[in-house]
């Protein structure tokens, strides 16, 4: 039986002569939860219409891996919200060993665990909403996982696939090629302190552009996949929507195979793919393609009847899926748990994950980890997830937060896109203080350790100056201590070009050349002209004196080529900084801004842990001193 293929061009409706159905906007209920899957529970966000009618179609959004996961996270959230507003319940999840889910990418059988997680999400959606059909929506690796889960009997009826190759080895080649390009320009381990930079035996595999590891066992398993050899049961009763990539045709192998199987195929142009796959700060949500998917779901004439319940009887996923209010973990033999929380501020609600010890004494310090730029709360290379779990095992409740407009927090996703300097607006300090107030009001300790990467480090440093409750401020690759015309317009302009020039072709070459020359010449002239003024206390010196009086631990980690580090080293201030008892300056042994190579990840983790221990020791000494003083009275 030959399948029916419907071509959807950008200006076409499913049938040219028929009016497009009016879209009904539903109120959306969104909640975070954990699904009990084997072997690792996973974090999921469920988007439900206020009322799910009979015949509704649910959608499981299956994530890609690594760099593409980071780029498309906000798109997947917007897609799920749009689906729910149109009456389609949706669920999106983090794969085991990624994002906020349990597990590690170093564990064996990751491909099987990922497939089981997608199947569990589909089972939960069908049980929760009683929807007639479930669609697996996947980009890249996510599409492969949706196909595998459906083939193994998961309650996934139809598929929406975008940039999904027929063979897994093609996806591996693309990831490996991108990773090799990045390694050529970033993996330059230098003669800096080598603590934690020695290779470990489990690091054989593929390091993705975002610093995520895929072990060799997982790479081999993915490379052996050929979707033509993974039959979809009852294919004649399935619908498949294939998205092109901005008009670039889908793989003919996959399309021909689906036609041969008898599935009903629809092809859409896939507008906005390239804009979606940019770095998270520059990524744009493909609104037109999202609308195409909703039209496809609502097309009643092409809607097949519900699959019979007997179709899932042979499935290995028949057992109900258990939902968990929190995630129970074991870190270094210590029981900890993670819970999704909302921090309500005056203008926006922030989303975060609280990691805390289950038993035993908890410290009087709460740690807050800020997101890295436009990347979500998991941090660069998932560093904040791992840090939060290590610190909770040390007795420190730790919250990792999304900034407004990032990840799952409220606010527009374009809040920071048009003006990079918005990341360094002084008003953010007030928001950080308000965040600490809200966390303390929820019962968390009233002493804080603030940590962040890049802009998050700027927020941590300035909040420490504004609030004496901050016991420690940790900044990784801090771009500046304070905002000024210089930092906003010259330093950051050239820094953004150096970091993202491969993703920003619209920059004017002549302007960038001018910025390069200015950034090379003016710092030297500025140091010479301001040298006589160095004798007077500088703004930075006054700030450091204040932190010393507050007994606030300050950790500054820099890569050698960081502009601020070069500036401090050029005029000799780096030695005066490191000479203060409460200030520790470390040099990351590599030139990668986001410390993606695994040795750099371990180095940063070791330095952060050591700084937290110094804070805890200082707090313990201060507490014991107060007790001794109070005893005579």
* pLDDT recorded at residue 505: 47
At 495, is the pLDDT very low, low, confident or very high (cuts 50, 70, 90)? low
Per the model's pLDDT, the better-predicted residue between 52 and 70 turns out to be 70
Given a cut of 50, is residue 186 above it in pLDDT? no
**What would the mean pLDDT of 405-433 be, rounded to a whole number?**
78
Per the model's pLDDT, the better-predicted residue between 542 and 537 turns out to be 542
| 359 burial level (CB within 10 Å; 0-12, 13-18, 19+) | exposed
The Cα–Cα gap between 485 and 422 comes to 13
Domains, the chain, in order of start with CATH, read: 5-14+27-183+203-305 (3.40.50.1820), 328-483+541-629 (3.40.50.1820)
* pLDDT recorded at residue 578: 75
pLDDT digits (tens, 9 = 90+) for 555-612: 999 999 888 888 888 878 888 887 788 999 999 998 888 888 899 999 999 999 999 9
Contact (CB, 8 A) for 101 and 93? yes
Given a cut of 90, is residue 207 above it in pLDDT? no
Per the model's pLDDT, the better-predicted residue between 567 and 189 turns out to be 567
Given a cut of 70, is residue 8 above it in pLDDT? no
Contact (CB, 8 A) for 346 and 434? yes
For a pLDDT cut of 90, what percent of the chain falls above it? 56
Hey, how many other C-beta atoms are within 10 angstroms of the C-beta on 504? 14
Q: What angle do CA 185, 191, 193 make, to 5 degrees?
A: 110
* pLDDT recorded at residue 507: 45
Task: Look at 4-8, 59-63, 586-590 and tell me which has the smallest mean pLDDT.
Answer: 4-8
SS3 state of residue 93: strand
Contact (CB, 8 A) for 52 and 263? no
* pLDDT recorded at residue 484: 65
Contact (CB, 8 A) for 27 and 48? no
The arrangement of strands across the sheet holding 447-453 comes to: 327-331, 334-344, 349-357, 398-401, 365-370, 447-453, 470-476, 553-558, 583-587
Q: What angle do CA 222, 227, 230 make, to 5 degrees?
A: 105
DSSP 256-300: HHHHHHT-EEEEE--TTHHHHTS-TTT----HHHHHHHHHHHH-G
Per the model's pLDDT, the better-predicted residue between 190 and 147 turns out to be 147
* pLDDT recorded at residue 535: 43
Per the model's pLDDT, the better-predicted residue between 422 and 354 turns out to be 354
Contact (CB, 8 A) for 544 and 577? yes
Contact (CB, 8 A) for 452 and 476? yes
HSE-up (13 A, CA, CB side) for residue 1? 11
* pLDDT recorded at residue 242: 95
Query: How is residue 169 written in tokens?
Result: 């080895």
Task: Look at 69-78, 279-288, 379-388, 396-405 and tell me which has the smallest mean pLDDT.
Answer: 279-288
* pLDDT recorded at residue 415: 54
| Residue 264, phi-psi category: left (phi > 0), alpha (psi -120 to 50), beta (remainder) | beta
**What would the mean pLDDT of 357-375 be, rounded to a whole number?**
87
Given a cut of 90, is residue 516 above it in pLDDT? no
The Cα–Cα gap between 392 and 367 comes to 9
* pLDDT recorded at residue 18: 40
* pLDDT recorded at residue 488: 55
* pLDDT recorded at residue 580: 86
Task: Look at 52-56, 292-296, 579-583 and tell me which has the smallest mean pLDDT.
Answer: 52-56
Given a cut of 90, is residue 341 above it in pLDDT? yes
At 185, is the pLDDT very low, low, confident or very high (cuts 50, 70, 90)? very low
Q: Radius of gyration over alpha carbons of the chain, in Å?
A: 26
Given a cut of 60, is residue 37 above it in pLDDT? yes
Tell me the pLDDT of the chain averaged across its residues: 83
Q: Which range scores top for mean pLDDT: 490-499, 501-510, 535-544? A: 535-544
Query: How is residue 563 written in tokens?
Result: 């502009």
> Facing residues of 475 across strands?
452, 556
**What would the mean pLDDT of 68-78 be, rounded to a whole number?**
94
Contact (CB, 8 A) for 476 and 454? yes
Given a cut of 60, is residue 499 above it in pLDDT? no
Contact (CB, 8 A) for 626 and 592? no
Contact (CB, 8 A) for 381 and 211? yes
DSSP 508-526: -HHHHHHHHHHHHHHHHHH
CA dihedral 465, 468, 471, 477 (to 10 degrees): -10
* pLDDT recorded at residue 193: 47
Query: How is residue 590 written in tokens?
Result: 């590599």
């Amino acid at each position: 039986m030959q399948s029916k293929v419907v071509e959807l061009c950008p200006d076409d409706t499913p049938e040219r002569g028929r009016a497009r159905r009016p879209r009904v906007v539903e109120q959306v209920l969104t909640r975070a939860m954990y699904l009990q899957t084997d072997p690792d529970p996973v974090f999921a966000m469920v988007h439900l219409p206020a009322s799910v009618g009979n015949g509704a179609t649910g959608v499981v959004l299956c994530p890609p891996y690594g760099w593409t996961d980071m780029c498309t996270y906000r798109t997947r959230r917007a897609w799920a919200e749009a689906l729910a507003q149109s009456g389609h319940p949706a669920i999106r999840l983090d794969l085991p060993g990624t994002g906020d889910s349990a597990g590690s990418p170093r564990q064996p059988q990751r491909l099987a665990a990922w497939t089981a997680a997608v199947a569990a999400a589909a089972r939960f959606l069908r049980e929760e909403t009683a929807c007639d059909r479930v669609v697996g929506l996947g980009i890249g690796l996510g599409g492969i996982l949706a196909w595998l889960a459906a083939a193994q009997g998961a309650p996934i009826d139809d598929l929406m696939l975008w940039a999904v190759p027929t063979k897994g080895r093609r996806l591996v080649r693309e990831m490996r090629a991108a990773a090799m390009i990045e390694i050529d320009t970033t993996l330059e381990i230098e003669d800096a302190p080598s603590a934690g930079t020695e290779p470990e035996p489990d690091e054989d595999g593929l390091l993705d552009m975002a610093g995520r590891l895929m072990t060799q066992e997982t790479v081999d398993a993915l490379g052996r996949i050929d979707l033509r050899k993974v039959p979809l049961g009852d294919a004649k009763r399935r619908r498949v929507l294939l998205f092109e990539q901005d008009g670039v045709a889908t793989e003919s192998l996959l399309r021909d195979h689906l036609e041969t199987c008898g599935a009903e195929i629809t092809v859409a142009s896939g507008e906005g793919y390239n804009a979606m796959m940019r770095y998270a700060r520059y990524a744009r949500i493909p609104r037109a393609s999202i609308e195409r998917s909703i039209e496809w779901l609502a097309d009643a004439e092409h809607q097949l009847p519900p699959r019979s319940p007997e179709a899932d009887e042979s499935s290995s996923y028949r057992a109900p899926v258990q939902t968990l209010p929190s995630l129970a973990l074991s870190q270094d033999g210590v029981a900890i748990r993670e819970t999704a929380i909302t921090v309500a501020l005056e203008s926006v609600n922030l989303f975060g994950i609280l990691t805390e010890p289950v038993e035993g004494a908890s410290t009087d310090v709460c740690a807050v980890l800020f997101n890295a730029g436009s990347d979500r709360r998991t941090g660069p290379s998932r560093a904040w997830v791992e840090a939060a779990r290590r610190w909770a095992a040390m007795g420190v409740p730790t919250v990792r937060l999304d900034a407004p407009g990032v990840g799952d927090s409220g606010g527009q996703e374009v809040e920071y896109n048009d003006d990079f300097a918005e990341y360094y607006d002084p008003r953010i300090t007030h928001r950080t203080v308000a965040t600490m107030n809200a966390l303390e009001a929820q019962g968390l300790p009233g002493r804080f350790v603030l940590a962040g990467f890049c802009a998050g480090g700027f927020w941590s440093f300035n909040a420490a100056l504004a609030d004496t409750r901050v016991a420690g401020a940790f900044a990784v690759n801090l771009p500046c201590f304070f905002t000024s015309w210089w930092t906003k317009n010259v330093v950051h302009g050239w820094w953004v070009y150096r970091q993202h020039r491969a993703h920003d072709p619209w920059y004017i070459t002549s302007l960038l050349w001018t910025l390069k020359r200015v950034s090379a010449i003016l710092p030297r002239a500025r140091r010479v002209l301001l040298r006589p003024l160095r004798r007077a206390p500088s703004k930075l010196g006054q700030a450091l004196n204040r932190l010393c009086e507050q007994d606030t631990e300050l950790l500054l980690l820099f890569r050698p080529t960081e502009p601020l580090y070069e500036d401090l080293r050029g005029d000799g201030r780096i030695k005066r900084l490191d000479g203060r008892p409460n200030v520790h300056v470390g040099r990351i042994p590599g030139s990668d801004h986001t410390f993606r190579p695994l040795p750099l990840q371990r180095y940063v983790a070791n330095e952060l842990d050591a700084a937290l221990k110094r804070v805890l020791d200082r707090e313990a000494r201060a507490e014991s001193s107060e007790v001794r003083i109070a005893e005579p009275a």
